[in-house]
């Protein structure tokens, strides 16, 4: 009986092997096709941008290899450094504003006295899902000199002397455009930090309460150290996310008045598509990427050290 069935098993084995080989080929194919598409549309442009950053090209005709000349120009370009400075200043405001306010909220959310927790969470997160373009327009209305919501509210509050041309004064415009950016993403960092706060075991808080710790002490000595790693991630995300800020400022001021609220992405867009200098635009693209990576590295270094 056993002997008799042996060839059948063997035959089945070969078939199984063949089937398995077909399956592996299929698996490779199913992964390879999307992978190639991804490399073509995401990784190739990255390489192109590095190549073009070493060339002079105006969008038509042949490009001309110029070595490091674009980078030399970048280092001496006052407009670039103004845009870089504005971007970093906005990133700093964003970290302080978004993560700072989100941190305070997540402390408050651990307090028993807080009402309507779910409502607040849903409402504060709402601006995160709105289109940055729409946010830009809404704040343009809010800041409008004549018909703006802000100035109307100031009039009602009897503070007419505080009324300012919010987006037309070069002295305050960077602060003005930072507010919507901060406002839009408080909710995102609130949800991230709250996630970490919720995962702290409740008995730690109960122990502290038994020892007589109040809410402030619990926040500083328990909540803060327990969510430190998440806080670090939030700050990195926030800083590198702000490096990409574009839509809102494009709508609100388009970098104006003059160049006073220009940021790196806007400068890159203008250089490439308004002036038509593709090579130099690619150089700015590469610099945006490097700025983001450097910023993330610096924050990691700073906050990692303080932990010990």
Question: Is there a contact between 199 and 191 (Cβ–Cβ < 8 Å)?
Answer: no
Interacting residue with another protein among 148, 174, 177, 197 (CB under 8 A): 148
Q: How far is the CB of 170 from another protein (least distance, A)?
A: 21
Enumerate residues 59-88 that contact another protein by CB under 8 A: none
Among 61, 147, 161, 203, binds another protein (CB under 8 A): 147
Q: Which of residues 251-280 bind another protein (CB under 8 A)?
A: 251, 264-265, 268-269, 272-273, 278
Q: Cis bond leading into 35, ω under 30°?
A: no
- The sign of the dihedral angle between the CA atoms of 282, 258, 241, 306 is positive
Of 6, 12, 75, 195, the one binding another protein by CB under 8 A = 195
Binds another protein by CB under 8 A, chosen from 24, 294, 298, 302: 24
In the complex with another protein, the residue whose CB is nearer, 82 or 124, is 124
Q: How far is CA 293 from CA 90, 91, 163, 298, in A?
A: 17, 14, 39, 9
| 39 contributes a contact to another protein by CB under 8 A | yes
Closer residue to another protein, CB minimum distance, 108 or 208? 108
Q: How far is the CB of 296 from another protein (least distance, A)?
A: 9
Alpha-helical segments (H) within the chain:
2-38, 44-52, 69-75, 78-94, 100-109, 117-129, 132-143, 149-156, 173-198, 202-210, 215-218, 224-226, 228-242, 247-252, 264-269, 278-307
Q: Is residue 200 a contact point for another protein (CB under 8 A)?
A: no
Contact (CB, 8 A) for 221 and 228: no
CB of 3 to another protein, least distance (A): 27
Q: Which two tokens stand for residue 249?
A: 């400022």
Residue at token pair 């190549």: 51
| Interface positions, 96-125, toward another protein (CB under 8 A) | 101, 104-105, 108, 111, 113-115, 119-125
Range 224-253, binding another protein (CB under 8 A): 230, 233, 236-237, 240, 243-244, 246-247, 250-251
């Amino acid at each position: 009986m056993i002997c008799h069935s042996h060839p059948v098993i063997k035959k089945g084995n070969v078939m199984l092997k063949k089937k398995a080989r077909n399956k592996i080929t299929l698996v490779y194919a199913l992964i390879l096709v999307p992978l190639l598409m991804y490399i073509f549309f995401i990784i190739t442009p990255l390489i192109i941008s590095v190549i073009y950053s070493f060339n002079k090209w105006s969008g038509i005709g042949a490009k001309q290899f110029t070595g490091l000349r674009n980078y030399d120009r970048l280092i001496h370009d006052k407009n670039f450094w103004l845009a870089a400075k504005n971007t970093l200043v906005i990133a700093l405001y964003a970290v302080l504003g978004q993560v700072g306010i989100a941190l305070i909220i997540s402390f408050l959310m651990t307090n028993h006295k807080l009402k309507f927790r779910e409502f607040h969470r849903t409402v504060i997160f709402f601006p995160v899902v709105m289109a940055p373009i729409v946010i830009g327009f809404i704040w343009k209305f809010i800041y409008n000199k004549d018909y703006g919501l802000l100035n109307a509210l100031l009039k009602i509050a009897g503070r007419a002397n505080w009324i300012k041309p919010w987006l037309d004064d070069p002295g305050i415009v960077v602060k003005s455009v930072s507010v919507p950016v901060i406002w839009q993403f408080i909710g995102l960092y609130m949800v991230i930090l709250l996630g970490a706060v919720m995962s702290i075991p409740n008995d730690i808080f109960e122990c502290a309460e038994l020892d007589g710790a109040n809410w402030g002490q619990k926040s500083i000595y328990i909540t803060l150290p327990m969510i430190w790693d998440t806080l670090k991630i939030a700050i990195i995300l926030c800083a590198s996310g702000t490096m990409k800020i574009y839509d809102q400022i494009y709508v609100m001021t388009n970098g104006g008045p003059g160049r006073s609220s220009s940021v790196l992405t806007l400068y890159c867009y203008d250089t490439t598509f308004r002036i038509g200098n593709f090579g130099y635009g690619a150089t700015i693209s590469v610099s945006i990427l490097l700025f983001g990576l450097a910023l993330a590295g610096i924050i990691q270094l700073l906050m990692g050290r303080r932990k010990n």
